[in-house]
Amino acid sequence: MKRKEFLTAMGGFALFSIVPSKVLGGQRHIAPSDQLTKGIIGVGGIGRSTLHFTNDESCRLTAICDVDSNHLNAAKQQAKEKLGVNVNTYHNYRDLICDPNVDIVHIATPPHWHGIMAVEAANAGKDVMCEKPMTRTIGEGRRVMEAVKQNGRIFRLNTWFRFQDTFYGLGTTVEPLKKLVDSGLLGWPLKVTISGYTGFNWKFFWVGKENLEPQIVPSNLDYDSWLGPAPYKPYNEHRTHQTFRGYWDYDGGGLADMGQHYIDPVQYILGKDNTSPVLVEVDAPQQHPDAVGTWRSIKYTYDDGCQIILEGEDNGDPKAPYIEGPKGKLYKGFECTIPNVMQRLLDFPDPEPQRTDFLECVRTRQKFALNEENGFRSATIVNMGVCALRLGRNLKFDPVRMRFVGDDAANQLIDQPMRTPWKI
Amino acid sequence: MKKISVVVAFLLMMTPYIINAQTDSRNRVASTIIADALNILPANDKATEDKLMVEILETGTKGVVELAMMLKPASVGGNAKIEYALDGLCDFVSDPANKQYGLIMSDGLRKAIEKADNDEVKAYLISLFRGFGNRKDVDFLSEYVKNENLAEVAIQTIASIPGSARNIVDLAENSTPGNRKVLAYAIADNSVRKTEDILIQWLDGADVETQEAVYYALSVVGGDKSLKLLSAKAKSLKYNYDPTDATASYVRLLGKYATRKDTAVVENGTAKMLKSKNTNINIAAMNLLVQTKGDAAVEMLLKSLKNKDKQVRMAALDLLKPMADSTVCATVVRNMSKKHDAEALNWLGEVGDKTQLEYVVNQLDSKDSLAVCEAIQSIINIGDKDGMMAILPLFGTEYQPAIKSALISTKNDYKEVVYAALEGTDQQKIAALNILESRSLPPAQNMVKRLMKSENQQVKDAAYKALKGVCNVGSADYLRELLQTVAGKYVEDVQAATMKSMANATPAVKEKYVTLLKHVSPEIMPRYYKIFAYLNDSLSITKLMAGYKSATTRNEALDALLSIDNVNLADTLYNIGINDKANMERIMKRYVYLIDKSERPAMDKLNSYRLVLGLNPKADVKNQIIKYMEATQLYQSIVIASYYLDDEETAQQAANTIVNIATRHPEFNGQEITDLLLRIKDILNDGDAMYKRTQIDEHLKKIAQTPKFELSDDEKAEGFVVLFDGTNLDKWVGDKNGYIIQNGNIYVSADYGNEGNLYTAEEYSDFVYRFEFCFMRPGVNNGVGIRTPMNVDAAYYGMEIQILDHDDPIYAGLREYQVHGSVYGVIPAKRVKFPELGTWNTEEIYAKGDHIRVTVNGEVIVDGNIRKACNGRNVAPEGKKNAKSGTVDQSNHPGLFNKSGKISFCGHGEGLLIRNVRVKKL
């Protein structure tokens, strides 16, 4: 009997007899029926990192896929030597998605593939873990959200600062920030500044080169499949592995690389998981149509006046607080202009607990803390910035219709044509 | 002026073709305009870019064609600048504000596409129409669908232009097997009607990719025929996912019927889907039914709750949320209890239902621990008082973490159950006290105080810890006394409670707390230091200073002093630190920390840092200070940091500080900076070194562009020598910290005083001295010292030719011998009328023997003889009472007749720029 059929035969009951560890705080034994499996698409950089290239009793690694045979072979060997498992290897991601021994599809490709793969995985009945940025266009993000919902899938967007870890150079986790904002002590509306001075590095080294010499495609790489839905451009090493972020066709530089890491927690802190900004304003040098460049500032405004301000590299006020409200400011290291703020916060409720164990969410079919809905919203903030940056102008946005207002060219960037035969 | 430009803009808008002028206002022909633009692109800001785009577009289609024809095939490359320009033009005309230029761009691109002889170039140009193309462009592009290489880009571009549906139908009717995929997607993207039959024909013998595209298109534009076809296909696939993605297309098409509320079709289709073995298809069917029938789908959903697949049950529960009335809630409980209690409980909590409270409460006794956890969470979410009380027996059990996490985050009223627990068993008491530690509840104060006397040690300990959660500002007196008497192990708890109670305290309350503190023994006193530091008012600080003075309490008091977040304390700390050898290092560390946090002017901060660096502290303190120096962004910080490049322990920090200041200030572009940055490239070796080196190179490129001043041919012939060419101060001595190079100018930031002067390295006797100066702020005061020794007041021990913004109101009472250009105190100058601030002025000082001539902006304002001006009496005769010199200011000018000396700038504060300094010896 195949594993899948076995699970179905057992029904959901067995899945549910185990007490979630976070509630009782104890060690949990994983029953074999509770064990999940995952397949990773894209085992070059992040997909083969120690963080994700794992195999344990709660989740077994069963399959990997890559269009670079060097990556695939190295990963297969790594799985065997380091993890002690024989994994199925695929060149075509659709074969991995169809593999009945895969419960969770982990998408670790460059972003231009995220949308298509996530939608197809959901249509094939798989749960999905997707690296950030969720998608490289707003239209693709919407399709992912719809497909996940329609098929009743569990989706995790892989950034985590809204629920764990010190938030970069800010020197604090996000939880007390959320508590402070919810307490109202800072007043409303709030302005959040994400700059070098508040602890965040926009990684401007992810810029592209404008005059790439065509090169011969190495024999290990299926460049056509690597490009997939992206427009055809002559191969140059700099377009692909490690440096693809410098090209609009695949990603959006440091903004897209770090944007969702930095912005998603802000969306959470401001309580904006169900809406989007109504205006994006950019100040940047002219962008090349292919190679991503740098920018000075990107400013987002919500309809209630809350603002998120991204300052590139050295721009912005060195003394800017991270959060500024009419009644107080909060700086790096949780330094606050409100005296004795820690003591005062004792009078307020903690933020609501979040579901932060993805595998448990898969087992219990509960939405993960950062899912297809709020993940789509924070990816949209990044992508609004990308659109404004590429067009070099400020754009108005309708957060209900998820379209730009009065700008056809900007809306063209929401749904970009894909190279035939790809479609989302 | 303004009116005219408005009229011109209006004309441009109305008649885009008329503006196809031969030359622009600067007499440039199209090719020059394009070349100039390409030279500047990529523009650094939007205004510049827009200006360039308008310039190009105003050359008309000719310019666009000329630009496009410069493109080389992608396989040859080198197109970056042209792509910046063409893409920028398209972005520009796609902006609704610039619509009037769209036609020029369209016409130009069409001509260029016709003219181009390479398909790669054509493809790029075709793709540019996305975002602004018009109907004429669509007709034009349709021709290129016949070209195999260009079909895809042409079809996609056509599809992106509004109103192109008719053309797409035409293309579909004349399709080839090769372009059907892309046409099918184009049909789908534009929802082109009346294409269903064509699409279905295409399926015959089509490859997998074309099938996928056609199914997709049918799912968007198809009707009953497509539904039948896709239904059969999906069924044959057993609703599995396959490369044609037909199942997903079928579901999408059913979704169209669902939107139209076509119940019969959707019920028929979903009935089969619900029987599928694929759970995601079952769920998709449920979604479609809810979409079609709304609340009428409730029966189906409630039935699904009995499904043995958890995924189906959870999806049903999710869809039931908006329908959760009392009947639905009752049915949820009926259908799920016993088997799936935890799921039902979780759901009841999320929808906030109160009608099934009895069921929820009963589940607190469940043997399924997950169900108990969900019941707890639900009850607290629901917020019902009686329900909350039902949790009481579970306080302090293995469910305590679940209870605590829910209680400290709920917005509902939870007090009663906590009060009850405080009166309950010891285990419940401890649990409740534990919650108070994380979320305050002042009304429980008396209960906690009572428990602090408990005989159960664990209860007692927990009660002390909970004290901070129940004390408020009214507890100050109680806490003050308690801190004096409490056992040592509880001191921290009482301190924490005191701090919490004082969090919102007024100055009066704080003062009272400290004033009433009496009869405290020296052993107990340090317990209050933490509180004093927290209160952070002058009385508390006085107390701490007193504690510091006493040897027995010194260390505790110092610890407290150094923990105070009060920038006003900085100087106090410096003063005690300078005399406290044993603690100097840590006091100074705190001092510089507070200085960095303070709002003091950057220069004051730097002076503080220099004081501490002068004490030669350990390397970590030095590094910290050098790091703080970065925030000053001062040129002087660069200079001081450079002293620390030689010491291995401080070199990295110093290098980083210098790079981080210098690269943000391209105006610091003297040779000194260039040399320093080149040196730092070799020193950097931290993780970011590679990146920083590139940054330095880029920066050096940027600042190398500053032009050097060179003598005119005439001046060269006359024998002038350049003293300052914009790059270095090599020919100068004196205060190079006060006179710095910015943007090729000497910028004076010197303070008044002899040390704030810049002197020529050489001495001059008779000479012609020429320079340009500019006032950057009102009231600037400086002067040119001539024939002066160093480090004296040139006005008296040499001569000072005044530099002064004498029109500033602050100089209303100025004497005539003090205005700009005067030989200060000796020969008054004709009053110059200066142009507005920020304008450059030229000046020449001619000095030959006793003859002095000063020329400003071409006008002679002083032309006199210094000996005659004072009748030879530059100093008062000695020994005579009330004797005065013969000078107009009646002061002694002992250096007036010096034969030779330095030429100097006599700094009297900030705001003067100097450039192009040259001199000729006579």
* CATH of residue B796: 2.60.120.560
State whether the Cα torsion B59-B61-B66-B68 is positive or negative.
positive
Residues of A in contact with B213 (CB under 8 A): 420-421, 423
Question: Is B68 inside any structural domain?
Answer: no
A192 and A73, same structural domain? no
Judged by a CB distance cut-off of 8 A, whether residue B664 touches chain A is yes
To test the contact with chain A by mutation, choose from B87, B282, B301, B598 the residue with the greatest count of A C-beta atoms within 10 A, namely: B87
Task: Tell me what pLDDT residue B866 has.
Answer: 93
Spatial CA neighbour of B656 closest among B678, B641, B675, B671: B641
Domain contains A69: yes
Instruction: Identify the weakest region by mean pLDDT among A25-34, A213-222, B793-802.
Output: A25-34
Nearest to B284 among A25, A151, A285 (CB): A151
Same domain flag for B555 and B690 = no
What per-residue string of b and e applies to B377-389 under the rule 16 or more CB within 10 Å gives b? bbbbbbebeebbe
Give the per-residue pLDDT at B779: 81
Same domain for B555 and B577, yes or no, is no
* B848, B895: one domain: yes
Query: Does residue B250 lie in a domain region?
Result: no
Per-residue pLDDT of A248-276, as tens digits, reads 999 999 999 999 999 999 999 999 999 99
Which residue range forms the structural domain that includes residue B665?
565-703
Q: What percent of chain A is predicted at pLDDT more than 90? A: 83
**With an 8 Å Cβ cutoff, are A151 and B280 in contact?**
yes
Same domain assignment for residues B589 and B669: yes
Cα maximum dimension of chain B: 126
Of B519, B541, B564, the position where a domain reaches its end is B564
The confidence band for A31, taking pLDDT boundaries of 50, 70 and 90, is low
Of A293, A344, A417, the CB nearest to B42: A293
- pLDDT for B288 beyond 90: yes
Q: Please tell me if residue B181 touches chain A, with a CB cutoff of 8 Å.
A: yes
> Do B779 and B899 fall into the same domain?
yes
| Helices H / strands E in chain A, number of each | 14, 15
Interchain pair A343, B500: CB under 8 A: yes
Kindly tell me if the per-residue pLDDT of A133 is higher than 50: yes
B118 near A CB under 8 A: no
Does residue A280 sit in the same domain as residue A378? yes
Which residue is associated with the tokens 């999320």? B350
For every residue of B733-791, which 3-state class applies, written as one string? Answer: EECCCCEEEECCEEEECCCCCHHHEEEECCCECCEEEEEEEEECCCCCEEEEEEEECCC
- CATH code of the domain covering residue A396: 3.30.360.10
Q: Please report the pLDDT score of residue B580 as a whole number.
A: 94
Residue B337 in domain: no
For residues A270 and A403, membership in a common domain is answered with yes
**Residues of A whose CB is below 8 A from B77:** 211-214
Contact B343 A417 (CB under 8 A): no
What is the model's pTM? 0.81
Q: Read off the pLDDT band of B69 (50, 70, 90).
A: very high
Record the tokens describing residue A195, joined without a space: 């700059």
SS (H, E, C) B124-156: HHHHCCCCCCCHHHHHHHHHHHHCCCCHHHHHH
Total number of domains constituting chain A? 2
Asked whether residue A194 falls in the same domain as residue A133, the answer is: no
Statement to judge: residues A283 and A303 lie in one domain: yes
Q: What Å distances lie between residue B69 and B134, B149, B326, B473, B531, CA to CA?
A: 22, 19, 73, 79, 78
Domain identity same for B588 and B679: yes
Instruction: Answer with the one of B564, B593, B609 that is the final residue of a domain.
Output: B564
Q: Nearest CA of chain A to the CA of B21: how many Å?
A: 27
CB contacts under 8 A, B 47-66 vs A, are: 49
Name residue B871's amino acid: N
Is the CB of A16 less than 8 angstroms away from the CB of B402? no
Identify all chain B residues contacting A211, using CB atoms and an 8 Å cutoff: 77-80
* A313 has pLDDT over 60: yes
pLDDT band, residue B698 (cuts 50/70/90): confident
Q: Which residue of B has its CA nearest to A289?
A: B87
Residues in chain B within 8 Å Cβ distance of A124: 240-241, 280
What is the arithmetic mean of pLDDT over B872-886? 82
Of A149, A211, A393, the CB nearest to B77: A211
- Please indicate, yes or no, whether residues B676 and B543 belong to a single structural domain of this protein: no
B786 and B908 in a single domain? The answer is yes
Would you say residue B40 lies in a domain? Answer: no
Let me know whether A270 and A128 are in one domain: no
What is the overall mean pLDDT for chain A?
91
**Which residues face A291 on adjacent strands?**
A247
Chain centroid offset of residue A94 CA: 22
And the tokens for A154? 């569990």
B332 HSE (CA, 13 A, CB side): 32
Give the total number of structural domains in chain B.
Answer: 4
Greater confidence (B717 vs B11) lies with B717
Residue B472 to residue B500: CA distance in whole angstroms? 7
Q: Does residue B431 form part of some domain?
A: yes
Please answer yes or no on whether A286 and B88 come within 8 Å at the CB atom. yes
Measured between alpha carbons, how far is residue B342 from residues A387, B320, B328, B332, B376 in Å?
45, 16, 17, 12, 11
Three-state secondary-structure class, residue B729: coil
Q: Binning pLDDT at 50, 70 and 90, where does residue A26 land?
A: very low
pLDDT digits (tens, 9 = 90+) for B124-161: 999 999 989 999 999 999 999 999 999 999 999 999 99
- B659 lies in the same domain as B688: yes
Confidence tier at B269 by pLDDT (50, 70, 90): very high
> Which tens digits make up the pLDDT trace of A405-423?
999 999 999 999 999 999 9
Task: Report d(CA B905, CA B788) in Å as an integer.
Answer: 11
- The DSSP string of B493-511 is HHHHHHHHHTTT--HHHHH
Residue B415 included in any domain: yes
Q: How many Cβ atoms from other residues are within 10 Å of residue B373's Cβ?
A: 27
Cis amide prior to B322 (ω within 30 degrees): no
- pLDDT, tens digit (0-9, with 9 covering 90-100), for B419-433: 999 999 999 999 999
User: Are residues A152 and B77, on separate chains, in Cβ contact within 8 Å?
Assistant: no
A198 and A112 housed in the same domain: no
Q: Distance between CA A209 and CA B297 in Å, rounded?
A: 56
In the prediction, which pLDDT does A18 show?
Answer: 34
Element (H, E) at B484: helix B476-485
On whether residue B652 sits in a domain, the answer given is yes
| CA-wise closest residue to A343 among B562, B472, B529, B538 | B472
Token pair listed for B54: 């308008």
Q: Is residue A396 part of a domain?
A: yes
Q: Please indicate whether, in this complex, the C-beta atoms of B241 and A97 are within 8 angstroms of each other.
A: yes
What lies within 8 Å, CB to CB, of B397 at 6+ separation is: B427
Q: Choose from B311, B410, B435, B465 for mutation: most chain A CBs within 10 A.
A: B311
Question: Is residue A178 a part of any domain in this protein?
Answer: yes
- Cβ atoms of B481 and A321 within 8 Å: the answer is no
Residue A270 lies in a domain: yes
Contact B96, B120 (CB under 8 A): no
Contact indicator for B349, B381 with CB cutoff of 8 Å: yes
What percentage of chain B has pLDDT greater than the value 70?
96
Nearest to B500 among A287, A346, A421 (CB): A346
Q: What pLDDT, on a 0 to 100 scale, did the predictor assign at position B25?
A: 66
Q: Are residues A261 and A386 in the same domain?
A: yes
User: Does residue B841 lie within any of the structural domains?
Assistant: yes
Taking CB atoms and an 8 Å limit, are B189 and A233 in contact across chains?
no
By residue count, chain A amounts to 424
CB-CB contact of A153 with A184 (8 Å): no
- C-alpha distance from residue B55 to each of A38, B1, B21, B38 (Å): 57, 20, 11, 12
| pLDDT score, position B19 | 44
> Looking at the predicted structure, is the pLDDT value of residue A1 above 80?
no
Same domain? For A253 and A390 the reply is yes
Which residues between 472 and 511 in chain B have a beta carbon less than 8 angstroms from any beta carbon of chain A?
Answer: 499-500, 502-504
pLDDT in tens, B382-432: 999 999 999 999 999 999 999 999 999 999 999 999 999 999 999 999 999
As a whole number of angstroms, the distance between CA B254 and CA B336 comes to: 30
For residues B6-24, average pLDDT: 44
Whether B401 contacts chain A with CB within 8 A = yes
Pairing of strands A279-283, A395-398: antiparallel
Looking at the complex, report in whole angstroms how far the Cα of residue A234 sits from the nearest Cα belonging to chain B.
7
Is A239 part of a structural domain of the chain?
no
Using pLDDT thresholds of 50, 70 and 90, give the confidence band for residue A30: low
Last residue of a domain, one of A133, A158, A183: A158
Q: Distances in Å between the alpha carbon of A310 and those of A277, A282, B185, B912? A: 14, 10, 37, 36
Provide the residue range defining the domain that includes A95. 3-158
For residues B886 and B138, which has the higher predicted lDDT (pLDDT)? B138
Task: Look at residue A50 and tell me if it is in a domain.
Answer: yes
Is pLDDT of B798 > 60? yes
Pair A318, A191 in one domain: yes
The pLDDT-based confidence of B171 (bands split at 50, 70, 90) is very high
- Domain match, A175 and A154 both: no
Residue A231 lies in a domain: no
Identify the three-state secondary structure at position B104.
Answer: helix
B767-775 and B840-848 beta bridge pairing = antiparallel
Which one of B42, B181, B408 has the shortest CB-CB distance to A288? Answer: B42
Measured between alpha carbons, how far is residue B579 from residues B574, B576, B587, B590, B880 in Å? 9, 6, 11, 15, 52
Q: What is the pLDDT of residues B568-615, one digit of tens each?
A: 999 999 999 999 999 999 999 999 999 999 999 998 999 999 999 999
Q: Percent helix, strand and coil across chain A, each rounded to 5? A: 35, 15, 50
Look at A152 and B311 and tell me if their CB atoms are within 8 Å.
yes
| Helix (H), strand (E) at residue A330 | strand A328-331
Q: Which of B516, B547, B564 is the last residue of a domain?
A: B564
Tokens representing residue B768 in the block: 């012609």
Distance CA B641, CA B112 (A): 57
Cβ–Cβ pairs < 8 A, chains A and B: 221
A157 forms bridges with which residues in the sheet? Answer: A130
Q: Could you write out the DSSP letters of every residue in B655-692?
A: HHHHHHHHTT-TT--SHHHHHHHHHHHHH--STTHHHH
For residue A399, give how far its alpha carbon lies from the nearest alpha carbon of chain B (Å). Answer: 21
- How distant, in Å, are the alpha carbons of B162, B362, B459, B540 from that of B396? 67, 19, 12, 41
Residues A57 and A150 in one domain: yes
B742 and B790 within one domain = yes
For position B126, what pLDDT does the model report?
97
The reply to whether A109 falls in a domain is: yes
One-letter identity of residue B303:
K
Residue B582 shares a structural domain with residue B641: yes
Least confident piece of the model among B79-93, B241-255, B801-815, B840-854: B801-815
- The helix (run of H) or strand (run of E) holding residue A408 is helix A408-412
CA distances to A272, B326, B328, B375, B421 from B351, in Å: 21, 11, 11, 13, 28
How close A40 gets to chain B, by Cα (Å)? 19
Residue B760 and residue B730 in one domain: yes
